[in-house]
Amino acid sequence: MLSAPMAAIHITDIERAINYWRARHPSPDGIVACAQVLALAEVYALLVYYRESECDEATMPPAAREAWLGWYATTPDAPCIAICSTSQGDPVCKGCGRTFDEVQHWTGLSPAEKRAVWRRITQQGTAWRFNRYAERARRATGVDHPDPTSLEAGR
């Protein structure tokens, strides 16, 4: 039996999470960082030191994982723009760029697995969400695209 590949968090997502927390909890003196930034900075420093670009989601220190998940909760869940060509038999959706399997199993993917898909489709930039329907993607709403301000209400 083949094992599933490691669910990895890319260093650019660690950077985004650090910047999110820095903006949310600015340093009062320019020196001291909040707990979330400190936890994520440790992971970031180790990635840089060992010249790695990804860390394992499952073995990430709990405080860093919690801080990363706090940032992750502010990002859109699915890249769907409600134009799914996989339902017509395409192996890759023209609307969002996900594969048929990714569309079918999206709700079962871990946050790191979802971010890996987001990273790939963003780098490829060929899906309609990045060109023909970019405006539609910016206006997306609903469960898959919560308004970030609505997430702050549940603090």
Instruction: Give the per-residue pLDDT at 143.
Output: 53
Q: Which tokens sit at 66?
A: 């919690």
Distance CA 98, CA 122 (A): 11
Average pLDDT, the chain: 87
The three-state secondary structure class of 126 is: coil
Instruction: Give the per-residue pLDDT at 17.
Output: 98
Is residue 22 pLDDT above 70, yes or no? yes
Is residue 10 pLDDT above 70, yes or no? yes
Percent of the chain with pLDDT over 90: 70
For 91-138, how does the pLDDT look when each residue is reduced to its tens digit (9 = 90+)? 999 999 999 999 999 999 999 999 999 999 999 999 998 887 766 666
Instruction: Give the per-residue pLDDT at 140.
Output: 59
Range scoring the smallest mean pLDDT among 39-48, 113-122, 144-153: 144-153
Phi–psi pair at 128, nearest 5 degrees: -55, -30
Distance CA 92, CA 113 (A): 17
Contacts of range 138-143, beta carbons closer than 8 Å, 24 or more positions apart: 140/76, 140/80, 140/81, 143/77
Q: Which tokens sit at 106?
A: 């999206």
DSSP track, 22-76: HHHS--SSSS---HHHHHHHHHHHHHHHTT-SEEETTTS-HHHHHHHHHHHTTS-
Q: Which tokens sit at 5?
A: 């590949």
Distance CA 71, CA 151 (A): 11
Is residue 55 pLDDT above 90, yes or no? yes
Instruction: Give the per-residue pLDDT at 66.
Output: 97
Band of the pLDDT at 2, cuts 50, 70, 90? very low
Residue 95 near residue 129, CB atoms below 8 Å: yes
Instruction: Give the per-residue pLDDT at 87.
Output: 86
Segment 45-61 shows an average pLDDT of: 95
The three-state secondary structure class of 8 is: strand
Instruction: Give the per-residue pLDDT at 147.
Output: 53
